[in-house]
Structure 1
Amino acid sequence: MTVDTMPIAAGDLAALLGSRLCHDLVSPLGAIGNGVELLEMSTDFPGIAQSAEMRLIAEAVAAARTRIQAYRMAFGMAQGDQRIGRAELGRLLEGIAAQGRLQITLDAAGDFPRPEIRMLTLALMCVETALPWGGRVIVLRDGAAWRLVAECDRARVDPDLWAWLDGRQPRPLAPSEVHFALLAEAARAQSRPLRHEFDATGGEIAF
């Protein structure tokens, strides 16, 4: 008997892979984090919780877990009926800011469709690329519209990278730049036009 199967789009296949990788990495990181907490509470190792070595391990685990959470939002599957609460989004942005050079302020209320948060996370990665020396970002939501407004003392803007958001592909992307292509793809899938403008002191992405 022949069973017909629905083909998986290339973008969905990549998102499934991203979800699988993030899921499989979360468990061992959680185990390491739990082990660190148990060591800190143990009476067999007095003072270990205040040691520089233990603090380094704990901070590294926290940073990895935060980064994987951001990757799960950006690169994983995003079904239209899934929603993200304001508190969860706030924690995600706080974690991203804590592990990088951006100061991120969230100005939004309610809960949000997961595909929008996927686009938001990818857009934030694009802003990080343009602001490698740090800066300030305000994330605003008005109705269904999002704006990421960035200010900085010094930016690095590569026009060939930002051209990907306009549907042009002037050069291949490095692995560290893949979020530009993914944001453009997500915008097309959601029928949400992208608008962006950046110069030496900042700019914005809107969708």
Structure 2
Amino acid sequence: MTSPTNNIAALLGSRICHDLVSPIGAISNGVELLQMSGDASGPEIELIHESVENANARIRFFRIAFGVASPQQVVGANEVRDILTSLTRNTRMEMDWQSAADHTRADVKLIFLLLQCFEAAMPWGGHITITHSGGTWQVSGTSDRMKIRAELWDALQNKNQNAEISASEVQFLLLPELLAMAGRSLQLEVSETGITARF
């Protein structure tokens, strides 16, 4: 049996996220039971609670960004906003999902991978706005300080370009492949204080 490399990566992403949901959910339930019983309180339990919430938000995000996305699957606008709100809670990053419509999981997957690219360029925080109009997605991000690796952003528009990519930058490898499979092209505007991407 043969599968494209990006499909294998998506299957692995789905499997890992699936296997992590149960133990993280169990920890969250355990913390809630301790708090309800009055047997535990204080900064230690609060730290565990916040860490579990953060882990859960990341798994929900990663499940879409790196998991399998079949053409018929749809993700609701409220679910997307909830994921992004949970993901950025207590951080210096703001993500404003402005589309009120539901969208295919394949489209949301592309946006989530693109958001990870933006996050890599905005390690000190910033504001990202996501809009959808007339069949075109636009993601715009601004920050007082940006960390732009030009070769990575160039690779998004030229998937054949060889750029050294670390594990934390795998989104720059996956996104152009998935855009090409979807028959879409990415338009980019990159400056010292902002990035705008459209497809």
Q: What is the correspondence of 1:138-157 to structure 2 with a 5 Å cutoff?
A: 138-157=129-148
Aligned equivalent of 1:17, options 9, 12, 18: 12
| 1:178 maps onto 2:170 in alignment | yes
**Distance in 2, Cα, partners of 1:99 & 1:59:** 9
Residue 74 of structure 2 aligns with which residue? 83
Residue 37 of structure 1 aligns with which residue? 32
**Distance in 2, Cα, partners of 1:77 & 1:27:** 19
| Unaligned ranges ≥5, structure 2 | none
Residue 115 of structure 2 aligns with which residue? 124
RMSD (CA atoms): 1.3
Aligned length: 198
Contact 2:10 2:68 in 1 (8 A): yes
TM-score when scaled to structure 2? 0.95
| Unaligned ranges ≥5, structure 1 | none
Contact 1:86 1:108 in 2 (8 A): yes
Aligned equivalent of 1:28, options 7, 20, 23: 23
Shift, 1:171, TM fit: 2.4
Residue 188 of structure 1 aligns with which residue? 180
Max radius of gyration: which structure? 1
Identical columns (%): 38
Contact 1:105 1:138 in 2 (8 A): yes
TM-score when scaled to structure 1? 0.92
Post-superposition, which runs of at least 4 consecutive aligned residues in structure 1 deviate over 6 A?
none
Shift, 1:99, TM fit: 5.5
Shift, 1:100, TM fit: 3.7
Q: What is the correspondence of 1:105-124 to structure 2 with a 5 Å cutoff?
A: 105-124=96-115
| 1:101 maps onto 2:92 in alignment | yes
Q: Deviations over 1:149-203 (max 9, x none)?
A: 1111111111111121012423221101100111111101111111112211112
**Distance in 1, Cα, partners of 2:155 & 2:124:** 23
Contact 2:155 2:163 in 1 (8 A): no
